[in-house]
Amino acid sequence: MSDDLNAGLNVWQMLSNHNRMMELQNDTTPSPARPVEIAYFGGSAFRITSPLGITVMIDPWRNFPTRKWDWYFHDFPITEVDIGVSTHAHFDHDALHRLDAHVLLDRLIGTYSFRDLTIHGIAEKHAIDSSCCVYDFRKVLETFQDQKIAPPNNQRSWDNCLIVVETGGLRILHWGDNRCELPESAWEALGHIDIALIPIDNSQHVIGHAAADKMLERLKPNVVIPHHYYIWDVVQRSSTLQSAEPWVQEREKSPDAVVRLDSAVSHFSPDTVRGLDRQIHFFGDHVAFDKQSWHDTGR
């Protein structure tokens, strides 16, 4: 009985309601000329806040459900947002149940719009090239877990949706764990990207550094924000993830190529990104939740 009680989404157990969204949908106030806020929550999780204050959380994480090994010290902290989005069905991206959200968009394909933001989802495939990785994850999964990860006949969890958030005059791409070799139709659907959130770490777990550079050369975003890397007091060593520092430091050899952010929150507008060419904005070990409380309470 207890297993049935806890199966599925847990929204019915939450005490919040969508009165806020009712107010917003009836409000005709124009979107103010404010910057867009991007906050980093570790892993691949970002909260994007529109000029009207509408919040979107992409890819909250959790530990592997079987608990055979943990990537994080604890699961994602329960967080209030307006909209939750997951790029794909892997545990380090799909913890939508950890959000107290009005709207959940799991693996969005198509377009969702509300007030001053629009979210586009493009159906694509997860990266499977492990040739640059510190271990051959494809061989491990196929040999020991009988997972078919190669397209087109891959299992569902090896699909990925590229997510583009349009708000405040910016187009923000969350790459998820997507492959770099996109079909031309996907490149065309992406169009111009102002800010690209890209998985980068020194284990080259998702994307090899050379492949990432080639992909960014094609994409040509104004700003690049790394994610999916090791943070010593959030991510455990058993994850096999490594720091993004070597990749960032290599690019610091060019003047003004890297901005090291001093907190987990940054603000962007069309004026501040205009003219930039793949400038890296690096959150480092900063995350937008109280780490100490998270560790103390275990949640």
What percent of the chain clears pLDDT 90, i.e. is strictly above it?
Answer: 84
pLDDT surpassing 70 at residue 123: yes
Contacts of 125 (CB under 8 A, 6+ apart): 151, 154, 158, 159, 160, 178, 179
Mean pLDDT across the chain: 94
Asked if residue 152 has a cis previous peptide bond (ω within 30° of 0), the answer is: yes
Whole-angstrom distance, CA of residue 98 vs CA of residue 55: 15
The number of residues in the chain equals: 299
φ and ψ at 53, to 5 degrees?
A: 95, 10
Whole-angstrom distance, CA of residue 214 vs CA of residue 209: 9
Whole-angstrom distance, CA of residue 266 vs CA of residue 223: 12
Contact 39, 288 (CB under 8 A): yes
Whole-angstrom distance, CA of residue 241 vs CA of residue 232: 10
| Residue 9 pLDDT | 80
Look up residue 44 and give its two tokens. Answer: 């691949």
Dump pLDDT digits (tens) for 22-52.
999 999 999 999 999 999 999 999 999 999 9
Contact 147, 193 (CB under 8 A): no
CATH architecture of 37-122+160-297: 4-Layer Sandwich (3.60)
Say if strands 170-174 and 159-167 run parallel, antiparallel, or are unpaired: antiparallel
Banded pLDDT at 67 (limits 50, 70, 90)? confident
Dump pLDDT digits (tens) for 169-212.
999 999 999 999 999 999 999 999 999 999 999 999 899 999 99
Dump pLDDT digits (tens) for 209-238.
999 999 999 999 999 999 999 999 999 999
Whole-angstrom distance, CA of residue 170 vs CA of residue 35: 10
Whole-angstrom distance, CA of residue 67 vs CA of residue 44: 20
